[in-house]
Each structure stands twice: as C-alpha cells, then as structure tokens.
A = this chain, B = another copy of it.
Amino acid sequence: MRDVAIISTGMTPFGELWQSGLRDLFVQAAREALMAVGSPSVDAIYVGNMSGGQFVGQEHLGPLMADHLGLAGVPATRVESACASGGVALRCGFLDVAAGASDLVLVAGVEKMNDGADVTNVLASAADQETEVYHGITFPGLYAMIARAHMARYGTTEEDLAAVSVKNHRHGARNPKAQFRSEVTAEQVMTSSMVAEPLRLLHCSPVSDGAAVVLLCPLERAREFTDAPIRIRSSGLATAPMALADRADPTFLDAVSLAAGRAYKSGGVTPSDIQVAEVHDCFSIAELCVLEALCFTERGSAGELTRAGETALGGRIPINTSGGLKSKGHPVGATGVAQAIEIVEQLRGEAGERQVPDATIGLAQNMGGSGASSVVHIFERV
C-alpha cells in the first residue's frame, strides 16, 4: 500500500445555515480545499453523508456533487455509516489512494439537517428500527442509557458529564467555524432542559448544517502541492452489535476499541503517542466512553480525567480542541472529515488560539449510531 497524505482542507462554518442547501455547502468547502492547492485535477470523489434521502429527499450525492463542482465525469461515491459517514468516506479515499487506483482524491462530508425534516426520526434511523426505535427510544435516549449505566457501574457523576460540555464549549469559543462560540458553566449545563435523563440539552450536540473536505494524494507527490502535508498513518474501522441491548457491557464501546486497536497496530503507535485527538462527543457521555475505549485512561476513569483538566487545552491529552461536536456543531455526515481537519491544523501548527504545542501525532475518532460503527485515523506531521 502507498503512503497517503492530506494536502489541503476546506470547511464551511457549522450551524443553522438557512441560506445554503446541501449542494451549496459541499461546493463551498470543496472549492476552498481545491483552490488552496491550485485546483489540481481530481481522480475520485467520496462523499460522506448520513441521510440526504430523509433530510432533503436527495440520494445519489456522488454525481450531484461532482456536477456542481464542475467535475461531472469524475468517479464519485457516497458512503454512509450514520454519524460516522465522514470518517468512513475518509477511509474509502485513503484506500483508493493507497491501492494506487487514484492519485488525487477529494473526500467530503456534508449534511443539511435544518431543512424541514423531522430530525429526531431521521437520527433514529441510525439505531435498530425494529427492536429499538419501534418501542419509543430516541437517539439521545440511547446515550442517556449508556450514561446511566456508566454512572451505576463506575460512579460517574452529573458533574463529570457537565465537565465535558464546559471544556468543549471553552475550546469551541476559540474556533471561528464553531456553531456555538460561547462558553458555558457547569451550572448552566446542569440546569438546562432535560432531553433524556440524565442528559440535558447542553450535553447534546446541536442540529447543524455544514460541509468539510480534505484532499488526499500519495505522500510521495504531496510536496508538489503543499509544504505541510499530513500523513494518514493508519485507518481502523470496526462494528459492534447494532442494538444497545445486544452489547454485553453498555458502558463500553467495542467498535471504538476495535477500530482504535487496528489503527494503533497498523500505525505502529500506542495511545500514549497521541498528542491531540478529536473524538465523537455527540453527547457528553460519549466522550467519556470513547476516551476509555481509546485506552487514553482506565475504564471508568474518564470523568475524573476530565474534571482534572487533563483533556483540556494545556492538559495531558487535549481532546476536541475544535470544540467537538458539542460546540463546533454536528452536521452528522460532515463530522468525521471536520475532525480530520482539526487534527491537520494542529499538526501544521495552524490552530491559533487552540494550538497544542509541538503536536506531531494526532488521532480522530468518529462513531455511528449508539456506537455500532466507529472509524479511527491516526495522522502525523512529516
């Protein structure tokens, strides 16, 4: 397999972007990424998108996006793994370049959630429709059940959960593309309206529109395009039982653990080598469970780690310097690519107020549904 590099990035702001449709968002992010490296010709496009069909009545996003980018003809494929769609698109692009099938690949993640659809129902289609959704559980409800199990088993507290939201808002306040650029206090989190007990509104990522794009090419060609290529050192993908009831331990995210294990192994790194990470904090409890599944901390100890400030900027392992899904926003199909962009900016030393000093190895972890799929990428400055 060939080594693969990210040579350019582009991203819309995340938020309620009423003026932009799905195709507009994609084109805006893609043009930014292309123009930054002199608009080279593209060999293939992968579009990560969870549910264009249900959100805006539009499937077949590969050709639609190629067309609107002025690139009709170019191979273009949409990939979906619920909220991990963006990360999985990145993996498909990575394999395409690694295989030697394509040289320059454009990987996009895009979602238009604020366009009139019933968002609660659409997001629930990432869970098992027959055994879960039918009975009345919602997507926040599934993570609420994970939270309650984690609390019962490890003594994790509402304060621990709130600390995740507080930290991520603090980070996001420094990110010009974030949906919410305001800090919140633990008290605000813990008194916000209840969504699914014990999760409140400020434990939940918002409903967002947005697109994110990265350009990939073989590492050996990367310096034709940029002085600061970022190598994708490895990619790991895994699944777990679809329904929460079918997982032996609802507090442990097997898919994350497996995907990370594959990425660590094929990248030849250990968790302690990671200096900065973007993880899938769709709900505050998710960040805690993910930190444990990534082996950044012992099982059950992520709440304590967070309250101790170790996952904040300046801490031992800064997590979600972008603001995470919570503060940056979560246009579901775009998130995985946006995570990669934050790591690229960190490894290039271009993260401004959010910069982790001297970061050379970073990780991005993206997750679908209540954890039935997860994809992990490890990046390094070269």
A binding-site residues for B, Cβ under 8 Å: 1, 21, 44, 50-54, 56-64, 66-67, 71-82, 88, 91-92, 95-96, 98-101, 121-122, 124-130, 133, 237-242, 246, 254-255, 258, 368-369, 372-373
Candidates B53, B54, B63, B79; contact of A239 at CB < 8 Å: B63
- What residues of B have a CB within 8 angstroms of the CB of A58 in the complex? 125, 128-129
A122 to B76, CA, bound (A): 21
The 7 closest A-B pairs by CB, nearest first: A99-B99, A63-B372, A75-B237, A63-B239, A60-B82, A59-B125, A63-B373
Can you identify 9 A-B contacts, CB atoms within 8 angstroms?
A1-B101, A21-B130, A57-B121, A60-B369, A64-B372, A73-B258, A77-B237, A95-B95, A99-B99
Closest to A89 in B: B77
A352 to B77, CA, bound (A): 35
- What residues of B have a CB within 8 angstroms of the CB of A239 in the complex? 62-63, 66-67, 71-76
A255 to B80, CA, bound (A): 23
A141 to B333, CA, bound (A): 31
Q: Quote the shortest CB–CB distance from A297 to chain B (angstroms).
A: 23
A205 to B61, CA, bound (A): 23
A243 to B127, CA, bound (A): 33
A57 touches B238 (CB 8 A): no
Closest to A55 in B: B53
A242 to B100, CA, bound (A): 28
Closest to A123 in B: B59
Candidates B63, B73, B254; contact of A73 at CB < 8 Å: B254
Count chain B CB atoms within 10 A of each CB in A44, A62, A74 and give the residue with the most: A62
Q: Quote the shortest CB–CB distance from A314 to chain B (angstroms).
A: 35
A96 to B129, CA, bound (A): 30
A73 touches B238 (CB 8 A): yes
A62 to B237, CA, bound (A): 11
Candidates B56, B129, B237; contact of A57 at CB < 8 Å: B129
A113 to B62, CA, bound (A): 22
A59 touches B63 (CB 8 A): no
A54 touches B54 (CB 8 A): yes
Q: Quote the shortest CB–CB distance from A20 to chain B (angstroms).
A: 13
A102 to B369, CA, bound (A): 25
- What residues of B have a CB within 8 angstroms of the CB of A67 in the complex? 239-242, 246, 372
Closest to A66 in B: B239
Count chain B CB atoms within 10 A of each CB in A67, A100, A133, A239 and give the residue with the most: A239
Count chain B CB atoms within 10 A of each CB in A50, A58, A122 and give the residue with the most: A58
Q: Quote the shortest CB–CB distance from A302 to chain B (angstroms).
A: 23
A63 to B127, CA, bound (A): 10
Candidates B52, B101, B121; contact of A95 at CB < 8 Å: B101
